[in-house]
């Protein structure tokens, strides 16, 4: 179990380093991009949820 935790930590650090590199080390800009991407994913999830609810209601499912 400890091996998995260490491995996940290493992956997170690598991802963080890559994100910072993509923004030329500008942590604030990297955070802004991550927040914008998160917001976009949340919006797509909300739309998908609404579509699924409508489909279930149209099919007569509870």
Query: In terms of pLDDT, which residue wins out, 56 or 20?
Result: 20
All structural domains of the chain with their residue ranges: 1-59
Residue 36 confidence (pLDDT): 95
User: Whole-prediction pTM value?
Assistant: 0.66
Residue 61 confidence (pLDDT): 67
Per-residue model confidence as pLDDT tens digits over 34-50: 999 999 999 999 999 99
Per residue in 31-51, is it b (16+ CB within 10 Å) or e — as a string? eeeeeeeeeeeeeeeeeeeee
Per-residue model confidence as pLDDT tens digits over 3-26: 656 777 788 889 889 999 999 999
């Amino acid at each position: 179990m400890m091996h998995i935790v260490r491995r996940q930590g290493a992956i997170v650090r690598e991802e963080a380093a890559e994100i910072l590199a993509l923004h030329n080390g500008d942590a604030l800009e990297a955070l802004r991009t991550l927040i914008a991407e998160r917001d976009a994913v949340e919006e797509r999830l909300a739309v998908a949820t609404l579509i699924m609810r409508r489909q279930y209601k149209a099919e007569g499912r509870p």
